[in-house]
Amino acid sequence: MRATLASETEMNESTHDLSRLRIDRDRPPPGVGRALRWSALIAVGAAVLVIVFVVVLRGVGRPTVEVALAERVGGGGASTGVTANGYVVARTQASVSSKITGRLEYLGVEEGSVVEQGRIIARLESADYAAALAQREAELGTARAGLLEAEAERDQLRRDVARSRDLRARGLTSEQETEQLEMQLATAEARVNRVRAQVEAAAAAVGVARANLENTYIRAPFSGTVLRKDAEVGEVVAPAVTGGGLTRGAVVTMADLETLEVEVDVNEAYIARVRNGQPVSIDLDAYPDTSFRGRVRQVVPTADRQRATVQVKVSILDKDPRILPEMGATVEFMEQEDDAQPAAPSRIFVPAAAVRDESGRQIVWIVRDGRVERREVDAGPVTGERREIRSGVSAGEQVVVAGHDGLQDGSRVQTAPR
């Protein structure tokens, strides 16, 4: 009986063990998952390589050209056909330096700082000048004390002389005593005058010492904007610098930006078309899409013999904070407002380098959607660095100004701004 129960127990345990032994058909065999991951990575890498290869191939073989925009000029009045190039300058501009030589101890401005006239912008080391002023003031105090003493002695002698004269009139004193007192009074008067002169000299010395101390302060000569720092704290500055030493001749350069104007050089062959007060159109290289109104302020009454040009100064009527000194500018001179001239239509201008002469025909290359297009145009004369296009080009189109060699109509190119 016990043997039978034991055997049945062993059979049941064996049955339970065999039930745990089964095949998991949902799990992939070992190594298959790793292979799938590697395959995915390889596919992604191949796709990236293909994309890079295509991008590189698209750029290979494309020539690079420099382009510029065709600009529309005028439209509000007739042009004289005279255009000149120049730069924006400030009528009121100065390199501010010190009146004396010294080491810069303080600099209170930076580039772009706006300062008022008379404001202290820098200071030199001034301990020795302050000490000299204190010494001169002490000497002035001593001289004033001596003057008070001399005046007191003189006043006493005046009273003694008056008393002696009264006694002499009544016969109570001798004439000799009166004369001695009068001589002493004259001496006291002379001493007072001498000490008073010493006081004036001491006061003048104080003024000189105070002026020397004031000269250690560098003040703004006018209200304006600091354009450039020419020295730093610790450097030696001087009113005038000769040679190649370490001394600085100026501390800052500043200008009044309210007085900005354009200076241009006009060929002397066209200067007869330019007059004072004449309206102009100003185009800045920095803002090619914007024109500014201006007026001729002065035609300088002399010519440059070497360059055969005459300098013309043009006031800017359209004030704009974007206009800065030393910006390049192109000025087109218009007809006088009171001249009986019909209004002329606007004109298209491109850089002169964009127009090519091929077999007697004038052509330009237009860039559109990454491709170049050869286009025949009717070009006018060259004015400055620009050329008028009477027909064939519209305002805003991109024209090739450099890199013409090897271009073919319809070929792809890479553009680089001028």
Out of 3.40.50.300, 3.30.70.100, 2.40.30.170, 2.30.29.30, the CATH code matching 77-91+258-341 is 2.40.30.170
pLDDT attached to residue 108: 93
CATH 2.40.50.100 fits 94-122+220-255, yes or no: yes
Averages of pLDDT over each 10 residues, the chain, 418 residues: 47 50 52 63 70 50 79 62 90 92 93 94 94 95 94 91 86 85 91 94 95 94 94 89 69 94 92 91 87 92 92 92 92 71 63 85 87 86 76 83 81 76
CATH of domain 61-76+346-418: 2.40.420.20
- In angstroms, rounded to a whole number, what is the distance separating the alpha carbons of residues 393 and 399? 9
Tokens of 139: 């000497």
pLDDT attached to residue 367: 87
pLDDT attached to residue 6: 46
pLDDT attached to residue 5: 43
pLDDT attached to residue 398: 86
Neighbouring residues of 42: CB distance < 8 A, sequence distance ≥ 6: none
pLDDT attached to residue 418: 60
| 290-318 pLDDT tens trace | 888 999 999 999 999 998 999 999 999 98
pLDDT attached to residue 167: 86
